[in-house]
Every structure is written in structure tokens, then in C-alpha cells.
Amino acid sequence: MLIFVLNAGSSSLKFRVFDMSDKSVIAEGGCERIGIDGKLKYKNSKGLKYDERYPMPTHDEAFRRVTELLMTGDTAVIKSFDEIAAVGHRVVHGGYKLVKSELVTEEVIKEIERFTDFAPLHTPSQVRTIRACVNLFGPEKPQVAVFDTAFHQTMPPKAYIYGIPYEYYKKYHIRRYGFHGISHDYVSEHTAELMGRDITSIKMVVCHLGNGSTIAAIDGGKSVDCSTGFGTFDGLMMGTRSGQVDPAALFYLSKREGLSVDDLNELLTKKSGLLGISGISSDDREVENALFNGNERAALARTIQCYQVRRFIGGYSFAMGGLDAIVFTAGLGENSPSLREEVLQGLEAFGIELDLKKNEKTIRGKEGDISTVNSKVKIYVVPTNEELKIASDTIMVAGSHGLL
């Protein structure tokens, strides 16, 4: 059974076609610079790689071009759209009503659109891609929306209500939502499999550390707290996002520098984090290189990063009343042994012991336990696979409606 997974960003469209009989990928790639000029990368399971520049004024043209490549010429992996059983879409924000993956209907699209202001960069392109897909494939083709916020909807009010007048929660739904939920869902399930234990008995802290980062406290398979909030820049310092900042500092900055709300948004989302502190790059590899070459600001950025991750792990294990596993995932979590070591060093008294050799070796897509045999708290690296989670949910939801 073939499942087509689409992940639209503000100016990008990533795609993957899975053969779910063995979970293999038969075609994948992405469009970038949509709305600017348009670049496309494509590869298929026959070993063909293809790059092109192609005009993509909107996500409609990008989506149509991807479907052409899937069906025609050397790049083709299918003969007709009939071979695709269903389509899964990543949707960043589901608001407060869309709390699980949903079959796409006009009602669901309207509900996603109602929360456009909560994720203004992503929602318009995601809705546009869903609509382009309905137009091309027809309304009979099952489509499923999988939400990044949904996994965190199990958080209790004590974790998601902010200390501002309650009326704003009632009136505008201002609360912590939390992000990277598709990744946390996949990674926590897979960690339980690696541990050979029923997920309902495990307390874990999953550290999704990439260009964007969210740490989640997952108790019995359910998210009970997470570091991202109403928007995607709370919690940890990220590539270009600030992480938590005292609002008083922003009021002060606004007055001193005459910054508007939009200026502050730009500052906190595009100029802060690793880039802002190191002054070098938002890419951790470049900051890590500078750090190994003795750059002090790069070292400061790395130290702050590690300290914040450690603080969340500590806080969440107390909040859950225990900890069975710490899990690292996403670009940085999966690939930086030096970061993992700095985060966890000196925690033996808490039953957390990293095996330095296993830590060094577990990179570039490898998964596994990187703790010592004596470590009471197990430490894992688990490469995330959000697309596979979207494909699995697509089958589950479309199947539950009798559409597959």
C-alpha cells in the first residue's frame, strides 16, 4: 500500500512516498524557495537522483510538479494516482479542538484555518497544499491531517495554563500547546520497543534537539509537559530562536531600541539562539567546529545549550516523580556525542551514567542504548521519523473510516 506524505513549510514542500508493506521509501525529496524562484530535489528507490530549478510561485505549482515527477519519465515510480492509497499531511497547529489525527474534510480544513494566527508561517501553505491535493486527486482520495500539537494535548492544565489573567485563556485560547509532537510520539513509542517494555509503565524525557527544539516529559506514553509553548520559541535556545526570555527584557529593549512587535518577533525567531550568541551560525556543526577551534562565543553558546537541556531533564524527572529513560533525537540530539556528554556529565548520583564509547559511536542514523549497564536511568539515541509516523497515522485514520 502506497502512502504519500507531504510536509509543507512557509516556502518549502517536503514529500515522501512509502510502500507500507515493508515501510520502504520509494520516492522522496523537497521543493525550496517556493514563492521566490523554486528549486526541487528528488530521488527514488531505483537510485535516480534529480535536481531542477522550476518556477513555483505558490505551493500549488510545487505540488503539481512533484506529482508529475512521480508519474512521468525517468523519475516515475507510479503509473497513476490510483496506486496511492492515501495522503498524509503534516499540520503544525491543530488549535485546541484537533487533538488527534483527522480525516481531511471541509470542516477540518476550516478548523485548521481558524488557528492560522497561531502558526502564521506554516498554516497557509499547509492548507493550500491540502486543497491542491483535493483538487488533483479528487475528494474520494483519503487524506489525513497529522498535527504537531496533538500529542501534547494530554498535558494537564497545571502544565499548559500561563500565569496571566484566565480570561485570555477562555477568550483567545492562549496556553502552552507544544510542538514537535509527531516526533515525540514516534520516538517515545520506538524507545519503549527498544526497552522491551510496555510504554504505559515508562517515564521518559525526550529531547528533540534540532534546528527547532522541544523537550517533552512523557509519562506512560502521554505528554505531560513540554518546553515549547503557545509559539515555537519558548523553552530552549534553538538555531535562531531565543528560547525562554523574561518579557521585562523585551519591554526594555522595545523602549530603548524603538522595536515594534514585528521587530521583536524577528529578533526572537530569526536573530537569536545559537546564531545570536555565537555570532557565527545557526547551524550547530559550524558552531561546534568553531568551539573545537577555541572560539569563546561558540563555547558559551554550547554551554548554555547543554545547561538548558540538563535543567529541563532535571525539572521534568522531578515533575513526573521519577525517570526511566532519557532519549536524544533530531539533527543535534542524534549526531552530537559531545553535546550529549556535556548535558549528562556528573549525574551518576542520580543513576544516570553515560557509556562514553557507545555515545561516540551512536551517530548518523544509528539507534540504541548509550548508558552503562549500571545506569538506573537508561539513555537512548533514537533517530526520529516524523514522515513514517504520519504514514502510519494515515493508514490508521483512513482505515478506521473504512476507506482503505
Which amino acid appears at position 402 of this protein? G
CB nearer ligand AMP, residue 143 or residue 329: 329
Report CA torsion sign: 193, 195, 201, 207.
Answer: negative
Q: How many beta carbons lie within 10 A of that of residue 319, not counting itself? A: 16
Q: How many beta carbons lie within 10 A of that of residue 294, not counting itself? A: 8
Nearest distance, CB of residue 55 and ligand AMP, angstroms: 27
**Which of 82, 148, 185, 219 is labelled catalytic?**
148
Nearest distance, CB of residue 38 and ligand AMP, angstroms: 22
Provide the mask over 281-320, with x wherever binding to ligand AMP is found by CB under 6 A and - wherever it is not: --xxx--x--------------------------------
Whether residue 145 contacts residue 87, with contact meaning beta carbons closer than 8 Å, is answered with no
Nearest distance, CB of residue 338 and ligand AMP, angstroms: 8
Site for ligand AMP in 202-221 (CB under 6 A): 210-211
Site for ligand AMP in 26-85 (CB under 6 A): none
Contact flag: residue 330 with ligand AMP (CB under 6 A): yes
Instruction: Confirm whether 148 is a catalytic residue.
Output: yes
Q: Which secondary-structure segment (H or E) carries 288?
A: helix 284-292
Q: What is the DSSP annotation of 216-262? A: EEEETTEEEEES--SSTTSSS--SS---S--HHHHHHHHHHHT--HH
Site for ligand AMP in 80-119 (CB under 6 A): none
Contact flag: residue 331 with ligand AMP (CB under 6 A): yes
**Residue from 101, 336, 385, 394 in contact with ligand AMP (CB under 6 A):** 336
Nearest distance, CB of residue 234 and ligand AMP, angstroms: 17
Nearest distance, CB of residue 60 and ligand AMP, angstroms: 26
Residue with the CB atom nearest ligand AMP in the bound state: 331
E-state strands within 22-93: 24-32, 39-44, 49-53, 84-91
134 CB contacts (<8 Å, ≥6 apart)? 104, 141, 143
Provide the mask over 239-278, with x wherever binding to ligand AMP is found by CB under 6 A and - wherever it is not: x---------------------------------------
Q: Which residues pair with 299 in a beta bridge?
A: none
237 CB contacts (<8 Å, ≥6 apart)? 243, 272, 273, 274, 277, 301, 304, 305, 308
Contact flag: residue 327 with ligand AMP (CB under 6 A): no
CB nearer ligand AMP, residue 205 or residue 274: 274
Binding site for ligand AMP (CB under 6 A): 210-211, 239, 283-285, 288, 330-332, 335-336
| Catalytic residue positions, numbered | 148
